[in-house]
Amino acid sequence: MAELPGNNTFVLLFGNVDLDFIYYRHCCLKGVVEDVVHLQRCISAYKAFLEDLLLKGQERGRSCKICVLAPQASPIRDEVFVEVTSRQAKVGREAIRKLGDRIDVSHSARLARTRMFADMLERDIALRDLIRVFRIDGEMIGPDGALVDRFYPKLLMEHHANPLETHKSWRRALSDELDIFHRFRPAATPDMPLAPAAA
């Protein structure tokens, strides 16, 4: 990527597979590891990759900015968690079921873990104006800690949130950063303060 001509802005989505299926697979096959420890390892790997990308671009006399998209909230409901996770993590259903006796894998806990991971990314990945973290978990997870209904996919076994809704959220989140999304900026509301007049 660093060899692409000109100055570039990269948009990279990190964390969903690591946050969910890789974490549960690791816990089943190698023993339970604290979620914070697992996520910090992931972030260290992301950070090394991103810093290398920036360095290689600088070595070629090119500047680049990186937009890191934090993980989206999982729409996997509790009633299908074992089946979906077993299939995606390639671990037996019984192992996933027993994992629930050792760590909290309820939907509310998994959503809270997503928020925690996004917080960690913001704290540990952002680098001046070169690497910025964007997130939509605030839109996806309601005040009650549950996934907002419009983000559930049509199919119960689908492990991706409703793409029509997540795409809208990402366009809004990136509307100030990327020119192609400027038209998706939130409209001004009547109570929004006016910008200060130019001097």
Q: Where are the alpha helices (DSSP H) in the chain?
A: 16-17, 23-30, 35-59, 81-89, 93-99, 107-124, 137-140, 163-173
| 25 burial via Cβ count (<10 Å: 0-12, 13-18, 19+) | buried
Helix axes 107-124, 35-59, angle to 10 degrees: 40
- What's the pLDDT tens digit per position in 5-27? 556 888 999 888 999 999 999 99
| Full domain range(s) for residue 93 | 15-184
- What's the pLDDT tens digit per position in 53-62? 888 888 877 7
- The verdict on residue 6 lying in a domain is no
Spatial neighbors of 60 by CB under 8 A, at least 6 apart, are 2, 3
- For residues 116 and 38, the answer to whether their CB atoms sit within 8 Å is no
What is the band of 184 on the pLDDT scale with cuts at 50, 70, 90? low
Rg of the chain on CA atoms, in Å = 19
- The verdict on residue 92 lying in a domain is yes
| 152 burial via Cβ count (<10 Å: 0-12, 13-18, 19+) | middle
Whole-prediction pTM = 0.83
- What's the pLDDT tens digit per position in 67-116? 999 999 999 999 999 999 999 999 999 999 999 999 999 999 999 999 99
How many CA atoms within 13 Å lie on the side-chain side of 188? 6
- The verdict on residue 135 lying in a domain is yes
- The verdict on residue 105 lying in a domain is yes
Residue 195: the pLDDT is: 41
Domain of residue 31, CATH code: 3.40.50
Q: How many domains does the chain have?
A: 1
- The verdict on residue 194 lying in a domain is no
- The verdict on residue 3 lying in a domain is no
- The verdict on residue 124 lying in a domain is yes
- For residues 135 and 166, the answer to whether their CB atoms sit within 8 Å is no
Spatial neighbors of 172 by CB under 8 A, at least 6 apart, are 181, 184, 185, 186
Residue 145: the pLDDT is: 95
Residue 104: the pLDDT is: 95
- The verdict on residue 79 lying in a domain is yes
Host H or E run for residue 134: strand 131-134
Residue 190: the pLDDT is: 44
Residue 194: the pLDDT is: 42
- For residues 75 and 159, the answer to whether their CB atoms sit within 8 Å is yes
